[in-house]
Amino acid sequence: MGTTRMLRLSEQTCLGFEREAERRGVTVDVTAAAGLRLLRQQEMGRELAAPLRDDEQAWLEAAPG
C-alpha cells in the first residue's frame, strides 16, 4: 500500500468494515475498495439498463457508411 489517508467513519461503519474484512480474510482497505467497485458496477448497470435516448436510438438505426 502506498500513501495512506484517514477517513472519519462512524464506529458502527468501522466495525462493519473490520468484521467483513475478517470474514473475507483480507484487509479493511481491500474490503473498502471492493465496496467502491461494487457501487460503480451497480451504477453502470443502471445506466446500461436505462432506455436509449432518442439520439442514441437514431445512431443505432443509421445506415453504415
Q: Whose CA is closest to 33, among 1, 55, 60, 61?
A: 1
Whether 16 is covered by a domain: the verdict is yes
Whether 42 is covered by a domain: the verdict is yes
Whether 6 is covered by a domain: the verdict is no
Whether 4 is covered by a domain: the verdict is no
- Residue span of the structural domain in which 25 resides: 11-58
Region 60-64: mean pLDDT is: 86
Whether 63 is covered by a domain: the verdict is no
Whether 35 is covered by a domain: the verdict is yes
Whether 31 is covered by a domain: the verdict is yes
Total number of domains constituting the chain: 1
Region 59-65: mean pLDDT is: 85
User: CA distances (Å), 39 to each of 1, 26, 35, 62, in order?
Assistant: 22, 19, 6, 34
pTM of the model: 0.74
